[in-house]
Structure 1
Amino acid sequence: MLIGGILIFLAGSLLCGFAWSMMSLVLFRLLQGLGAGAIQPVTMTIIGDLFKLEERGRVQGAMATVWATSAVVGPLAGGIIVDTFSWAWIFWINLPIGIVSIIAFMIFLKEDVAHKKARIDYLGSVLFSISIVALLVMLTETEASAWILLSLFAVFVVAGLFFLAQERRAPEPIISIALWSRRLIATSNAATLLAGMALIGLSTILPIYVQGVLGRSPVVAGFTLTMLIVGWPLAVMLSSRFYRAFGIRRTLRVGSLLFPFGACFLLFLTPESSPVLAGAGSFFMGFGMGLISLTSIVLVQDSVEWSMRGSATASIIFARSLGNTLGATVLGAILNAGISHYASGETAAALHKALNQPTGLSALAADPAIRSIFDAALHWSFWGVVVVAVLTFFTTWLIPVGHRKTREEPAVAGEAASH
């Protein structure tokens, strides 16, 4: 399964480099995403199977370090590749790395499991896609006529109901209703979905504000998001100490409190603010998300039998991805609503045009009137991030976390730190 996902990802990467239009690039990126979707949950599941609780902190700590490093180095490397070679090499550079990975897995990963024929729930996948696409279009096309919006809402509801019915009777559903109905899994997935919505909003809206309102360079805007990337793995590395000192319940709830605490920093941003304020909010949100994410995964994995561990892990990844999709759409719609509220006619058109141009954000910061309108509109999105972060906080308190005995906490910390 893992090697198959890597092969699909590499095929998508290869085709992306040969893309001849934006539509072809989107389709090939879709193929690439299908492969990536198989890699992450399977990797987490394999680590959960191969390593004991006390060993997983070290292994997943190394993975978190790789993730954080790649998130920082990746954009810089991409810029160097585009300036030095061709844009296609942004995708083709994955090929040698992927081939080496496949060879390493074939040599070092030894499995001893009973294989069985899987039945893919194609109908469930189609129904789910129709329902989610209808929802996303409805949220983005807010200026459409009422009957179009009602039609989209009807498609969303009807397809969603058919999807739930299909999942109840499918032999191997893409979303196990029985699994998701467990309180621990349902609340963990809900918290992860909401956290994913807030984080994608932060990573989308904050750089726009730093460039378009504060008038800073893309490098400074990237710095504010780098603090998010610093906070997340730092929480992973310190988690074992937190668990030993405070226990899993208190650590989870403090982490859930840091999430909206960091989001509230966004509300205090003004055109005269320092980017340090934005970076501080980004850091606290990343630190809180690190504790929420790692604890959710370990609790979910620990709550199911071995045969369901892959499905349970995939449910967390799915919830986070769905949250990212919904968050980008919802908060983007809030931004558009804010622009429509504070501006009209040529001013609104100028704002939308500036957002769609590479150098448009710097032009916004140079015009005080438009800059003020953009500041007010973006604060609508900031309030959206805060509301979702607060909902995340309350949802994490619904996760049934039992008190652990002191002697068990180091093992639990190792497990939690691994994610």
Structure 2
Amino acid sequence: MTEFAKHPVPHRHWILIAAMLAMFMAAIEVTIVATAMPTIVSELGGFSQFSWVFSIYLLTQAVSVPLYGRLADLWGRKRVFFIGTGLFLCGSILCGFAPQMGWLILFRAVQGLGAGAIMPLTATIIADVYEPEERASIQGWLSSVWGVAAIVGPLTGAWIVQHVNWALIFWVNVPIGVVSMLMLARWFPESHSEGGQKLNLVGSAWLMLTVTALLAGLLQAENLGYWVSVLFIVALMAAWALVRHERRSAEPLFPLAVWQNPTIMAGNAGNLIIGAAMMGISAFLPTWIQGVNGGTALQAGSALAMMSIGWPLSSTLSGWLMLRTSYRFTAQLGSLLLIGGTALLLTLNSSSSIICAGSAAFVIGTGMGMCSTTFLIAVQNSAEFHIRGICTASIMFSRMLGSALGTAVMGAVLNYNLMVRLPAHSDPVQQIMSYSQRKGLSQGSLNQMIAEISASLHWVFAVSVLIAFFSLLVARKIPGRKPQEAR
């Protein structure tokens, strides 16, 4: 292949805009659908399948990310991006026509399979057309899209379900995706793969089985009960078969250089940790605000939006900081912010204001943005062109896997504490979050439940702090050089 970044690529600003449009399309999908789901459920029914609308999307997305990354190295970025985005747009159109919940879940699976290409491919395309010293600041621009989507998505979703048919929340992606594809078709130079290389189909099958079984077990552990152990056993057996096959394969799915490069390994470990720590706020801070503080869904969403605002701001700052210090310094600073932000969650109590919760979320977001961008740039700048796609995809996949692991671990910590502290109550969190059930409780019983749930959530936040400490250890493994310095 030819490394574009070694030669000036014309119209780079149009390529960047196309990548930002694609990233916005994927980012807004998360927030806009979550806002509209109560309305969708009321029309389609099937509330018992509610969680699968989100789980199946995350599952198929995570499964496909490594495959798209490898295909991008073998077939070229543009072709694979078009395949993935086309699949995502087809799934989006079909979701709007879903007649019942079962069909919506199926179409969300198609949508997720396409979404697996968007984030890793946009990041890889940008890395291809910009020099190593430029990538840090440019990736900050891509990250800023998430901050915009965090604000625009919920507002747009609320307006659509109130004034228009809910199907439009899926269809708004279509013109954005089409414009992005047309711009890349016009201005992004196609890469050409080296002859003789093929996708390792056997390895890909073992990988998909491993990831599917593992994530399905993690995402549905509470619903599956003891049956979840079967999925974990399948995941272990498939992982063993994958490793065995990769060692013997002449064309492994993950090239040997991925495992031999300490920077790539550290970057993946760092994003795994970031994904896990992030769930301490994304999944459980809204529970604190609505349950312990008695706040509204809007207040919970506003506090979470502070994390999405802090992320792109620090991501952009990290580009400037890396050029003047080093990867290691920037990653360590981000880790300290992440530790500090998660520690602030431990100071929350039943009388804490939404501003306190939002401030903690903002600090966590700045730490995550700084760490994540630094790990990504360090990996991309240390990876050769012919493996940059799979290396970038592995970073994205590690964060998704970390999020699933973090949700499972912290959810187990919360459930265990609630079982010990409130053994006589069935689903106490639901009781205090539901307005009607909360009104039916006596003041003494309500205060006791809030106190015990508060203590249980503090244990969840403590686990998040512990996980964040590991990011500091990983940051020490990142090179102590600047992006513009040679590998």
Q: Is the 2:140–2:373 Cα contact (8 Å) retained in structure 1? A: no
The amino acid that maps onto 1:127 is: L
Q: For residue 131 of structure 1, report the CA deviation from its aligned partner.
A: 4.3
Aligned position for 1:348 = 426
Contact 1:196 1:320 in 2 (8 A): yes
8 Å Cα contact 1:212/1:361 also seen in 2: no
Matches within 5 A, 1:114-263: 114=193, 118-121=198-201, 122-129=204-211, 131-133=213-215, 135-136=217-218, 139-140=221-222, 144=226, 151=230, 153-170=232-249, 172-176=251-255, 178-263=257-342
Q: Does 1:50 align with 2:50?
A: no
Q: What is the CA–CA distance in structure 2 between the aligned matches of 1:340 and 1:290, rounded to whole Å?
A: 35
**In the TM superposition, what whole-angstrom CA distance separates every residue of 1:225-258 from its partner, at most 9, and x where no partner exists?**
1221121111122224433554332222111111
Are 2:374 and 1:295 equivalent residues in the alignment?
yes
Contact in 2 for aligned 1:211/1:217 (Cα 8 Å): yes
1:77 aligns with 2:156: yes
Q: Does 1:41 align with 2:120?
A: yes
2:365 and 2:336 map into 1 onto residues whose CA distance is 12
Which whole-Å deviations, capped at 9, do the CAs of 1:16-40 have from their partners, x for residues lacking one?
1122333332222221111111111
- Could you say what secondary structure the match of 1:348 adopts? coil
1:302-313 matches, cutoff 5 A: 302-313=381-392
Instruction: Tell me how far apart the structure 2 counterparts of residues 100 and 230 of structure 1 sit (CA, whole Å).
Output: 26
Q: Per-residue CA shift, 1:348-399, capped at 9, x if unaligned?
A: 34434666x6977898998323222221222222122112111222222233
Asked if the contact 2:85/2:115 (under 8 Å) is kept, the reply is yes
Q: Could you report, residue by residue, the CA deviation over 1:250-284 in whole angstroms, capped at 9, with x for unpaired residues?
A: 22211111111110011111101122222222111
Query: Following the alignment from structure 1 to structure 2, what is the Cα–Cα distance between the partners of residues 92 and 4?
Result: 18
- 1:125, 1:341 → 2: CA distance? 38
Q: Which moved more, 1:252-261 or 1:106-115?
A: 106-115
Matches within 5 A, 1:264-303: 264-303=343-382
- 1:368 maps to a residue whose letter is N
Question: Partners in 1 of 2:328 and 2:428 — Cα distance?
Answer: 49
Contact preservation (8 Å) 1:227, 1:283: yes
Q: Which residue of the other structure, out of 448, 451, 472, is the alignment partner of 1:393?
A: 472
Of stretches 273-282 and 20-29 in structure 1, the one that deviates more from structure 2 is 20-29
CA 10–138 in structure 1, closer or farther in 2 if over 3 Å, else same: closer
Partner amino acid, structure 1, of 2:157: G
Query: Can you list the C-alpha shifts for 1:321-370, whole angstroms capped at 9, x where unaligned?
Result: 1111222222222222222111123x234434666x69778989983232
Partner of 2:93 in structure 1?
14
Q: Output one character per residue of 1:204-235: Cα deviation in whole Å (capped at 9) or x when no partner.
A: 10011111111112222122112211211111
Q: Distance in 1 between matches of 2:438 and 2:304?
A: 17
- Kindly report which structure 2 residues correspond to 1:308-323, keeping only aligned pairs within 5 A, or say none: 308-323=387-402
Give identity over the alignment, percent. Answer: 36
Distance of 1:9 and 1:364 partners within structure 2: 46
SS of aligned partner of 2:383: coil
CA contact (8 A) 1:195 1:389 kept: yes
* Residues 276, 467 of structure 2: 8 Å contact kept: yes
> Could you state the TM-score of these two structures normalised by the residue count of structure 1?
0.86
CA drift at 1:130: 5.1
**How many Å apart are 1:306 and its aligned residue?**
1.0
Pick closer, same or farther for the CA change 1:26–1:173 going to 2, 3 Å: farther
Counterpart of 1:258 in structure 2: which amino acid?
A: L
**What CA distance in whole angstroms lies between the structure 2 residues aligned with 1:361 and 1:221?**
18
Distance 2:442 2:257 in 1: 52
Partner of 2:107: 28
Question: 1:77 offset after TM fit, Å?
Answer: 0.8
Contact preservation (8 Å) 1:17, 1:88 = yes
Per-residue displacement from partner, 1:19-66 (whole Å, max 9, x unpaired)?
233333222222111111111111111111112234435533332222
Distance in 2 of aligned mates of 1:341 and 1:220: 30
Supply the RMSD in Å over aligned alpha carbons. Answer: 2.9
Shift of 1:285: 1.2
In 2: Cα distance, 1:186 partner to 1:313 partner: 12
Distance 2:256 2:441 in 1: 48
Corresponding position of 1:87: 166
In 2, Cα distance between equivalents of 1:215 and 1:200: 21
Residues 25 and 99 (structure 1 numbering): CA distance in 2 closer, same or farther, change over 3 Å? Answer: same
Contact 2:413 2:460 in 1 (8 A): yes
Q: Give me the whole-angstrom Cα distance separating, in 1, the residues matched to 2:366 and 2:124.
A: 24
Deviates more, 1:95-104 or 1:191-200: 95-104
- Counterpart residue identity of residue 329, structure 2: R
2:406 is the counterpart of 1:324? no
Q: Aligned pair in 2 of structure 1 residues 254, 350: CA closer, same or farther (>3 Å)?
A: closer
